[in-house]
Chains A and B, each alone.
Chain A
Amino acid sequence: MKRRRAALKAIFSYLAPEKLTNNMLAERFPDWNIDKAYQNTGVAVRSIAAADQCTSDLGIIAAEKMFAAGVCNPQDIDFLLFCTQTPDYFLPASACLMQDRLGLPTSCGAFDFNLGCSGYVYGLALGKGLIEAGLAENVLLIVGDTPSKAINPRDKGALALFSDGASATLLTALTSEDELIGPFVFGTDGKGAKNLIIPAGAFRQRSCPETRAERMDNDGNVRSPEQLFMDGAEIFNFTLQAIPPLVNRLLENAGLIWSEIDYVIFHQANQFMLEALRRKIKIPKEKFALILETHGNTSSASIPMALEIALQEGRIAKGNKILISGFGVGYSMAAAIITLI
């Protein structure tokens, strides 16, 4: 039946300007085997935001690229969704400042939502909901983070993996026979919150001299409770156990089988982990996005960045069905099917 549908119209991304290469890391940590870390993460270069550059600034550049390309005008946007865990302020929502800076109409709705690796999929679900309920025509979804600002300069494990960037996606209303964004499946397991967290500095544990004190862990990485902590082993365990059933549940809901999926984009968490997931789910290599080498782990921006690259490289085309899945910090997870228009 023909009805009002949300569709993904365009994606424009922006990586932070400064680069941190493996050679630079090897110089900074002479006793550390960067080649081994590279084999695991798959990351050759990370992007680092300038000292005065926030995620919102990166997101604004991405959105302005979209406007400059003539995809749409700022006046056309009637809802701005901004997904980040590295906002400008505790309050107000960065999305409110971005409405003004991007020249979006004051009749535009705007809010932030706080998710990381899973955030893009949740953002598509929110945008779809707004459009298909008739609450918005053109939703601008901006996602991204500047993890580098929350990482201790002596935490080589986290430094080697994360990268700063943002991505802007335009969702638009059209009339179509088929669902173009969705179906979706979601998942949450707050038991894993402690395994990927900035424990102090917000309202549960206020900033104080103790929360700023640095400690060294068993691997020789240094951090304070106000900086990013990740238990990589537990994140691996979670992902390997939770994601195969999640994406299989999605296919079942969609009434599709794996051979009907043209391309698969998982959150670009870590190359070794993604390869293990790919083997476990039995996804062919040529259908599986990997952009860690050049992009690093850009949190919520990793899926749209991989989607944009696949489009540019002609790996995917109109009518293709793309399976996307984001998972991590929370633990929060989601997966969806996107049909390209």
Chain B
Amino acid sequence: MDNNPFFEDLAAILEVEPGELQPDFVLNQENWNSLSIVSTIVLIDEYFSIAIPGENLRECKSLGELWQLIKDATNSPG
């Protein structure tokens, strides 16, 4: 996840250093709230041109889960 500009921007949203964003990075009530989720929705739209339902994003417990969600959405045909 190093040197990927998406994660550098995501780190800014989560207010951590990009190096901290490893797959086991924990998304909790503190850092994963309505404000950071809407910011991430914009980021995902800008980088991948896809929309992921807010509810699915909210359920992510770790960065790994979030990344998997994005990968699945970008690979799916619709």
Contacts and interface: CB of A to CB of B under 8 A. Distances in A.
A19 B71 CA distance: 45
Contact of A233 (B29, B41, B46): B41
Given A237-B53, A276-B46, A280-B45, A232 B58 contact: no
Interface residues of A, number: 19
B35 to A, nearest CB: 5
B45 A276 contact: yes
B33 A234 contact: no
Contacts of A233: 34, 37-38, 41, 53-55, 57-58
Contacts of B55: 233
A183 interface: no
For chain B, the bracket of interface size reads 10 to 19
A273 B38 CA distance: 9
Interface in B19-63: 29, 33-35, 37-39, 41-42, 45-46, 51-55, 57-58
B51 A240 contact: yes
B75 to A, nearest CB: 18
A280 B46 CA distance: 7
A113 interface: no
* Best-surrounded residue of B45, B46, B52, B57 (most CB of chain A within 10 A): B45
B35 A234 contact: no
Interface string A225-250: 00000011110110011000000000
A195 B34 CA distance: 14
Nearest to B37: A233
Contacts of B42: 236, 240, 272-273, 276
A231 B38 contact: no
Interface in A210-235: 218-219, 231-234
Contacts of B51: 237, 240-241
A40 B41 CA distance: 13
* Best-surrounded residue of A40, A233, A236 (most CB of chain B within 10 A): A233
B34 A232 contact: yes
Contacts of A285: none
A28 B33 CA distance: 20
Interface in A138-175: 157
Nearest to A277: B42
Nearest to A37: B35
Contacts of B38: 40, 232-233, 236, 272-273
Nearest to A157: B34
A204 interface: no
A119 to B, nearest CB: 24
* Best-surrounded residue of A37, A237, A279 (most CB of chain B within 10 A): A237
A36 interface: yes
Contact of A218 (B29, B45, B46, B52): B29
B35 A240 contact: no
Interface in A273-288: 273, 276, 279-280
Nearest to A230: B34
Contacts of B46: 276, 279-280
A272 B39 contact: yes
Contacts of A279: 46
Given A240-B41, A276-B42, A280-B45, A231 B54 contact: yes
Interface of B: 29, 33-35, 37-39, 41-42, 45-46, 51-55, 57-58
The 5 closest A-B pairs by CB, nearest first: A233-B54, A237-B51, A276-B42, A240-B45, A236-B41
